[in-house]
Amino acid sequence: MKIKAQISMVLNLDKCIGCHTCSVTCKNTWTNRPGAEYMWFNNVETKPGVGYPKGWEDEDHYRGGWHLNQKGHLELVAGSKLNKIALGKIFYNPDMPELDDYYEPWTYDYQTLFSPEKKHQPVARAKSQLTGQPMDLKWGPNWDDDLAGSSETMQDDPNIKKIQTEIKTNFEDAFMMYLPRLCEHCLNAPCVSSCPSGAMYKRDEDGIVLVDQEKCRGWRFCMTGCPYKKVYFNWKTNKAEKCTFCYPRIEEGLPTVCSETCVGRIRYIGVILYDADKVRSAAEEPDEQKLYERQLEVFLDPNDPEVVAAAQEAGIHDDMIEAAQNSPIYKMAVEEKIAFPLHPEYRTMPMVWYVPPLSPIMNYFEGKDSIHNPEMIFPAIDEMRIPVDYLASLLTGGNTTVVKAALYKLAMMRLYMRAKTAGKDFDESKLDRVNLTADRATALYRLLAIAKYQDRFVIPKSHKEYAEDTFSEQGTVGYESCDGCGLAGDRQDRFGKKQPQKTSEEIYAESFYGGIWRD
């Protein structure tokens, strides 16, 4: 047994309202720099939809993640080491997405709005942030937000092609849900495994996956290796960048920016202890539908005295063990089994999990005499507006049984709490059928619906005071020291002439005015 601790996240999709606050605060923090304009370490997609980059779930096209080779062993879909050398993929990476698969970043020509008075009303035209040329906008971030224009693009959602249920696009029968996405900080990270320079790594102490900007040589295999397409290439620094899980905040025991600012309080952060020796065999499970359950087997029970002893021996700090014992992630993923990994069939062992959404069914159902007849939830969920097999193709590799069990449980918990608050009778034996007790249903309700800050975020401090050389830590946080990475680094033109830009302080003073952020 080789115990490691992993910081992980659960997102309760039932409560996501698709407001994009997480994306915007993340962008303000990490990717508002030249070269990084098109990057969204966190983005929120409307599902069904093609997503960002377009059709990222189509691994026949992008060839990310792992598959099993003929001997049944893990191999990168993008090709084995030998294959990459033999086909000269280092000269040209055939599977890499292009900028247009994301979108070309633009700004508007605001200057014309302030030009001298003219006969016609001035218009601020869209101008590419890459080339400065005027551009026709054909695609952008969240182009299909809230199913906008989805009659054109929705059928390209790879999940729709996979499932049996016919998806209807007419207004009356349409459904949608939001899927906030960030780096999964996988246990079996294919980006780390693809990096030829060894610049990508998993932090031993908390499993956060990072790119060492000093070591990155820009070979771009991480971009193709990641099936979630969450590693980006900065066209200015020519290096890879990705979600950092806001590690400077995590080290201080603070939640990530996306979690902190989530207005729906849908995000949970906690520690999971896992057995690193089991990861490989779990990821080599031949049956895709079982991969979710195999991943659960990799996680260790933090309350088991043997596990605690082994963790202490492995040098895991007591604070980390205590956090694991109080982890909301462990509760939702392992104890209650209401959270699921995103696309476990990529065999990456992702560590950002999702509670499937229930809302449309409950709205349809709550008007009826539901409290007295809770059995109704079972047929209702089977005919839910968001088809269960759509959710299963997102979250469990097609295993509908476990998704249904989670939805039954969530629906039953709601009915129970509704009866309790409304002072109605509720036959508690009904809770048995979904493997709940009255106490656990209440606890689950507190965790999901009340969602107190300290229940959502159980993050141990990293104890940097034990780091051997604090001097070496200086300046390692953020991108400031790297040329062209700073918030507003000087943009050079082709002849090396510096074009002065606003400093970080100026940008800050401009947008943070009187205590509120302005756009």
Instruction: Name the residues that contact another protein, by CB under 8 A.
Output: 81, 85, 88, 90-94, 96-99, 104, 130-133, 188-189, 192-193, 195-198, 200-205, 213-220, 233, 235-239, 315, 466-469, 482-483, 492, 494-496
205/285 with CB nearer another protein:
205
Closest distance of CB 179 from another protein, Å = 24
CA–CA gap between residue 343 and residue 214 (Å, rounded): 31
The phi, psi pair for 401, rounded to 5°, reads -55, -50
Q: What tokens were used for 258?
A: 């996306």
221/330 with CB nearer another protein:
221
135/174 with CB nearer another protein:
135
Closest distance of CB 289 from another protein, Å = 25
157/285 with CB nearer another protein:
285
190/357 with CB nearer another protein:
190
How far is the CA of 204 from the CAs of 313, 352, 468, in angstroms?
15, 18, 15
For strands 491-492 and 352-355, give the pairing: unpaired
Closest distance of CB 118 from another protein, Å = 29
105/398 with CB nearer another protein:
105
Q: What tokens were used for 137?
A: 């906008």
33/409 with CB nearer another protein:
33
Nearest to 333 by CA among 309, 358, 314, 350: 350
Q: What tokens were used for 255?
A: 């939640």
397: number of CA atoms within 13 Å, CB side?
A: 20
Closest distance of CB 193 from another protein, Å = 4
CA–CA gap between residue 171 and residue 165 (Å, rounded): 17
Closest distance of CB 208 from another protein, Å = 10
**Centroid of chain to Cα 331:** 19
Closest distance of CB 313 from another protein, Å = 15
Closest distance of CB 105 from another protein, Å = 11
CA–CA gap between residue 288 and residue 268 (Å, rounded): 27
Which neighbouring-strand residues pair with 10? 268, 353
The DSSP result for 352-394, as a single string, is EEEEPP-HHHHHHHHTSSTTT-GGGHHHHHHT-SS-HHHHHHH
